[in-house]
Structure 1
Amino acid sequence: MTIIGSGLAGYTVARELRKLDKESPLRIISADDGGFYSKPMLSNAFIENKTPESLVITPATQMATQLNAEILTHTQVTQVDPQQHAVYVGEKRLEYSQLVLALGAKPIRLTFEGDAADKVLSVNNLDDYTHFRAALQNAKRISIMGAGLIGCEFANDLQPAGFSVTLIDPLKYPLGQMAPEKVGRTLQQALQDLGVSLYFEKAVKRIDSTDSGYRLTLTDDSVLETDVVLSAIGLRPHTELAAAAGLSVERGIVVDRYLKTSAEDIYAVGDCIQIEGLVLPYVMPLMNAARAVAKSLTGQLTTVNYPAMPVAVKTPACHLVVSPPPAGLAGEWEIEAEGQDVRALFYTPAHELGGFVLMGAKVADKMALAKQLPPLLA
């Protein structure tokens, strides 16, 4: 059995597999050093002075021992051949009996005018975080593009650490695609109270070098000076390897309820997949999928089920949990608010709960409300 990817998805499949089958040969191919770490920690690691090295929970050598697996580190798979049941690392051919694609997602890259358009950073893995930390050593001003979940988390991490943070987003308020305006405005106020500068209904169109850093020109022609530009505008499933192998690919690698791809003996899990139209780049869907795949790999064909899975936003300035309604679901928000304590419930026309956002003290209602939500995949 072969797993491509050593992120949380790949390693969780391996761990779940070893609970069921301790001896079958297992190979894990990692494009990086294969160390196990918590990717969600990257957006709030700076203020806790977490270095890249300290974020690694278990190095690859120990993971290999724990999992009774061969782990190939710093190894890039260049081709998957479903007909021959083989993957290629350059010219080297490695056969597999069953293959799991845990390829993750990559940051969305925008194009900009200006001579520093290629200087935009993103943080999607430990190597990215290493480069970001290095860029911050002589920096004071940080501009973050994107006021979604990750952008807000970085802003809340970096401003209290002593940086001057600017948050830029084309929508009207933070979390504009996940939450109603009242919630976004409450989070906006909390970030402003920290000292974060906010530019909404604007985007970066040009990035130029200056003697001291960079000059950003926004779509309304306003100008900002900054030392670091961080993009947090979202991720896109990593599908190129699968597409080149002839697998069905749409917004992600298309899988069925068994996490099977369109090719025999190839499964996919994690941020790279699309299942019944859903692309869910969060931890809980990944864990559910990994457990199902592990059973299927050992001969117990198992479908994946997704219950409602609220997401905690790591913004200590304003505690927040979101379980947004599915895209296109008809309904309206009902909101109760007192300061930062906000309870926003999304009801369908039949007055069925379709989603919620909780802030402050109302976060305590998370589990009770989650039980009322319909599953994403039953």
Structure 2
Amino acid sequence: MSSHDAPLIIIGTGLAGYNLAREWRKYDQSTPLLMLTQDSGRSYSKPMLSTAFSKNKTAESLTMADAGKMAEQLKATIHTFVSVDAIDTEQRVIQFDGQQLNYRDLVIAAGSETINLPIENSAAEKTFAVNDLEQFSAFQLAAESAQRILIIGGGLIGCEYTNDLLSTGAKISLVELQPTLLSNLCHQSVGDALVSRFTEEGVDLHLGSAVTAIRANNNGVIATLNDGSELTADLVLSAVGVRARTELARGAGLKCQRGIIVDRELRSSAANIYALGDCAEVDGQLLYYVMPLMQCVRALAKTLSGTPTAVSYPAMPVTIKTSCFPIVSNPPSSSAHWEVEQTDGGIKALAYDKTKSLVGFSLGGSAIADKAALAKQLPKVMA
């Protein structure tokens, strides 16, 4: 098969892979499409995982379509539970399951993987991380009988799961290395306001602390903190962050840093290979959020259809799904002067540059109502 007649191949069937396939099919109904995934290929919305407990959702009810249904919708061939072993960039060939396939274009949408805590842990079977539907299903099953849950990490995912797991009635302990919550996303005043709200909800907070070891204890775990104190729990949820999956790309000789390096058209350092989503470092930016992903999807679908299109990023505020104290934040890209205002039932922190132009904000509680108006005043992230 010549590369001209070869399929578009997409590695990954997450939000990036499936949304790209759907958007691309609007322009191209005839080119063969092959998709490969290491998991079941079920279509679901990953952001909904961290609100599933409070909404009484299971992995099954979160599933919108299985791989078979997606294959029908996308006029695609989808191979599930397979790993791509190698990419030959010169011959435009991928190897998987003992097969070799030519590609016309190849899109790596392999996503991200959870960062493992570099600590002693003799209770690995009681320690969970959630970054996909299968991991969520395992964690939810374990949490059914848990009365005490320890969450490590006070960033976006850790805070969203803390909020969500409060609905189970379990006692939640949260350990965060920084002195407040959401320190990488929000102004300290908003992070501190969430600390107060979680405390009111009964969360056992350990700020400025780190877990140094986890050991099994009967049917649960004992976690040792850096001050020597200990916490007991039935299970642990590690939410210390994710990193881009780049191993396959590095093996193929593609240029990578934190993610697979691509330009504004999502082109990698190898011809006819693109990267999209959590694994892609777009013009120096690696953003693990849905809004930039969708901007890239729309641009790349056009490029793959014969109309090279550079992606642009508007201002993209991040919504943190902590219903007990909802937050929306758009952190400034550089140093800024902050002005903080307490509102009725909320808090508004606005970031200004030297010209007194708005360059970011953090909103909490009722102040999130100002999100749309403030976002219009922000500069584009990538024009």
TM-score by length of 2: 0.96
Greater Cα shift, 270-279 or 253-262: 270-279
- Aligned counterpart in structure 2 of residue 134 of structure 1, from 141, 155, 159: 141
Query: Would you say the 8 A contact 2:292–2:313 is kept in 1?
Result: yes
Question: Residue 33 of structure 1: CA displacement?
Answer: 1.1
Query: Would you say the 8 A contact 1:324–1:356 is kept in 2?
Result: yes
- Aligned counterpart in structure 1 of residue 313 of structure 2, from 299, 302, 306: 306
Alignment of 1:44-83 (within 5 A): 44-83=51-90
1:39 partnered with 2:46: yes
Separation in 1, partners of 2:122, 2:115: 20
Separation in 2, partners of 1:331, 1:325: 7
- Aligned counterpart in structure 2 of residue 121 of structure 1, from 119, 125, 128: 128
Which residue of 2 is the match for residue 294 of structure 1? 301
1:157 partnered with 2:135: no
Which residue of 1 is the match for residue 3 of structure 2? none
- Aligned counterpart in structure 2 of residue 337 of structure 1, from 311, 329, 342: 342
- Aligned counterpart in structure 2 of residue 193 of structure 1, from 187, 200, 211: 200
Question: Residue 119 of structure 1: CA displacement?
Answer: 4.4
TM-score by length of 1: 0.97
Secondary structure at 1:159's aligned position in 2? helix
Name the CA shift for 1:245/1:119 in 2 (closer, same or farther; >3 Å): farther
Secondary structure at 1:78's aligned position in 2? strand
Question: Residue 80 of structure 1: CA displacement?
Answer: 1.3
Greater Cα shift, 114-123 or 65-74: 114-123
Secondary structure at 1:10's aligned position in 2? helix
Separation in 2, partners of 1:308, 1:375: 5
Large movers: runs of 4+ above 3 Å: none
Secondary structure at 2:347's aligned position in 1? strand
Name the CA shift for 1:2/1:114 in 2 (closer, same or farther; >3 Å): closer
Question: Residue 117 of structure 1: CA displacement?
Answer: 5.4
Query: Would you say the 8 A contact 1:160–1:194 is kept in 2?
Result: no
Separation in 1, partners of 2:245, 2:320: 24
Separation in 1, partners of 2:118, 2:126: 11
Query: Would you say the 8 A contact 2:343–2:367 is kept in 1?
Result: no
Separation in 2, partners of 1:370, 1:180: 16
* Structure 1: 5+ residue stretches without partners: none
Alignment of 1:233-244 (within 5 A): 233-244=240-251
- Aligned counterpart in structure 1 of residue 377 of structure 2, from 369, 372, 376: 372
Question: Residue 49 of structure 1: CA displacement?
Answer: 1.6
Query: Would you say the 8 A contact 1:330–1:349 is kept in 2?
Result: no
Cα RMSD (Å) of the superposition?
Answer: 1.2
Secondary structure at 2:64's aligned position in 1? strand
| Equivalent pairs, count | 376
Deviations 1:52-107 (A, max 9, x none): 11110111111111111111111111111111111111321111110011010011
Query: Would you say the 8 A contact 2:344–2:366 is kept in 1?
Result: no
Separation in 1, partners of 2:253, 2:338: 43
Greater Cα shift, 234-243 or 111-120: 111-120
- Aligned counterpart in structure 1 of residue 322 of structure 2, from 304, 315, 328: 315
Separation in 2, partners of 1:247, 1:21: 27
Question: Residue 232 of structure 1: CA displacement?
Answer: 0.7
Separation in 1, partners of 2:168, 2:337: 38
Secondary structure at 1:355's aligned position in 2? strand
Which residue of 1 is the match for residue 23 of structure 2? 16
Separation in 2, partners of 1:214, 1:358: 36
Secondary structure at 2:340's aligned position in 1? strand
1:111 partnered with 2:118: yes
Which residue of 1 is the match for residue 5 of structure 2? none
Name the CA shift for 1:114/1:33 in 2 (closer, same or farther; >3 Å): closer
Deviations 1:193-233 (A, max 9, x none): 11111000001001111113100000011100011111111
In structure 1, give the amino acid aligned to 2:275.
A
Separation in 2, partners of 1:91, 1:115: 36
Query: Would you say the 8 A contact 1:117–1:206 is kept in 2?
Result: no
In structure 2, give the amino acid aligned to 1:336.
E
* Structure 2: 5+ residue stretches without partners: 1-7
Separation in 2, partners of 1:257, 1:231: 33
Separation in 2, partners of 1:65, 1:160: 37
Query: Would you say the 8 A contact 2:86–2:94 is kept in 1?
Result: yes
Secondary structure at 1:37's aligned position in 2? coil
In structure 2, give the amino acid aligned to 1:372.
Q
Separation in 2, partners of 1:114, 1:373: 44
Which residue of 2 is the match for residue 182 of structure 1? 189
Secondary structure at 1:143's aligned position in 2? strand
Deviations 1:104-134 (A, max 9, x none): 0011112112423574210000010011012
1:85 partnered with 2:98: no
Which residue of 1 is the match for residue 279 of structure 2? 272
In structure 2, give the amino acid aligned to 1:344.
A
